[in-house]
Each structure stands twice: as structure tokens, then as C-alpha cells.
Amino acid sequence: MQALLAVSRLIDRMNEHIGRAVYWLVLAAVLLSAGNAIVRKIFSVSSNAYLEAQWYLFSAVFLLCAGYTLLRNEHVRIDILVGKLSARAQAWVDIFGTVLFLLPMATLIMWLSWPYFVRAYTQNEISGSAGGLTIWPARLLLPVGFALLVLQGVSELIKRVAFVTGRGPDPIVRHDPAEAERALAEEIRKIAEGKV
């Protein structure tokens, strides 16, 4: 079990780093998109490459952050029933869900999207629109993103099994939904008091 928990910690650290690196692409996409609109208006130059690069960037964000988001337990749940259960019962729900829902689904998509990437790569496909980008880097995001998701699923599974067998701490990141709001409220209060 200790070896497995070490693996889990390794996966967690990896997805944490990937998530923190990849979120910069949000800013890149914002600036690229705004820049493209301005340049197109003022200098009348535009290329489909810019339009495509925007969704390449965003695809990188949501696919590569899928594992990171799972690590932070931010994939939204309907927890009107489960929220009332004990921590142990919630861990069991997650074990059940990971084994029966997450892992099969993510593995299947990873499996199917690999040949989809390989085809684009070997034939060096280029997007159909004028000035379009090479397709395979974006296709590669699919199997990679879902692989990261599978790995994170395995890590979450290990942590929960360790918990229900009494060999680890309660791993569920509980969002006190009020917490983020409290932080925001605190900052706004500071702004307001600085002024009023």
C-alpha cells in the first residue's frame, strides 16, 4: 500500500505541475484573440491560423487540466444526496464511480483517439481552411489529456482505498463553497474600506 501511495503522490505532483503550467495558456488565448480582432480591424490582415491557434490553446487548457481539475475535486457533482453521507461513505461512492465510470470512459476515449492522432500525423494532415494549421498537435492533446485523467483517476482511487482501509487520511478535498467567496469578500471589503 505504501508503494501505491507513493505512486499516487507522484501522479498528484505531476498533474499539479502540469495544471499550473498550462493555465498560462488562458492568458495567451485571451491576448491572441483580442490581438487578432484588433489587428484585423485596423490593418485588415487576418489568417485562419490565428483563429485556429485560439482553440488549439483552449483545447490544451481543458484537456491537459482535466487531471488537475480532478485532483482539486472541481468536476461538478450533484451532491444533494451524497453530501449528507459520512466521509467513509463518500469515499466508497468515489471508489465505485472511479472504477465503473471514470476509468472505463477515459480509457476508451484514450484508446480510440490514439489512432485518430496517428492518422493525422502519418498523413501530415493540414486543416482544410486557407492558411490552416497542422492538425496532429491538437489531435495529440486528446490521448495525452485522457491519459492524464486516467492517471489521476488511479491516484484518487489509491487514496480512497487507503482511507477506507484505515491506511491513509481522508483524501476528499471538500469545497466549502463559501470559502472562495469569503476570500473575495475579504478583498472587496479591503477595497471598500480603503475608499469609503
Partner 1 sequence: MDFIAQNMAPIMFAGLVVFLLLGYPVAFALAANGIFFGLLGIQLGLLEPSLFQALPERLWGVMSNDTLLAVPFFTFMGLILERSGMAEDLLDTIGQFFGPVRGGLAFAVIFVGALLAATTGVVAASVISMGLISLPIMLRYGYDRRFATGVIAASGTLAQIIPPSLVLIIMADQLGRSVGDMYAGAFIPGIALAGLYAVYAGGVALFKPRWSPALPLEARRLREPSGSSGTPSVFVVVVLATIAAVLFDRFYYVPHYPDAALDERLVLAAGAGGGFALASAIVNKVFKLGLLSRLAEQVVFVLIPPLALIFLVLGTIFLGWATPTEGGAMGATGALVMALARGRLSLRLTRQAMDATAKLSTFVVFILVGARVFSLSFYGVNGHVWVEHLLTSLPGGQLGFLIVVNILIFLLAFFLDFFELSFIVVPLIGPVADKLGIDLIWFGVLLGVNMQTSFMHPPFGFALFYLRSVAPAHEYMDKLTGKRMAPVTTGQIYWGAIPFVIIQVIMVGLLIAFPQMSLVYKSDQPTIDIDKVKIEIPADEPARAGEQEDLMKQLGQPPAAPDKGAEEPKKSPEEEQQDDLMKQLQKK
Residues of span 121-150 touching partner 1 by CB under 8 A: 127-130, 132, 138-139, 141-142
26 binds partner 1 (CB under 8 A): yes
CB of 171 to partner 1, least distance (A): 15
CB of 123 to partner 1, least distance (A): 13
DSSP class of residue 176 equals -
Cβ–Cβ under 8 Å, residues 65 and 75? no
Distance in angstroms (rounded) separating the CA atoms of residues 76 and 29: 24
Residues between 30 and 49 with contacts to partner 1, criterion CB under 8 A = 30-34, 36-38, 40-41, 44, 46, 48
φ, ψ (nearest 5 deg) of residue 134: -65, 135
Distance in angstroms (rounded) separating the CA atoms of residues 143 and 46: 31
Residues between 78 and 107 with contacts to partner 1, criterion CB under 8 A = 78-83, 90, 93-94, 96-97, 100-102, 104-106
188 binds partner 1 (CB under 8 A): yes
Q: Which stretch binds partner 1 (CB under 8 A): 6-14, 26-34, 157-165, 166-174?
A: 26-34
Q: What is the DSSP string of 108-152?
A: HHHHHHHHHHHHHHHTT-B-SSTTPPBSHHHHHHHHHHHHHHHHH
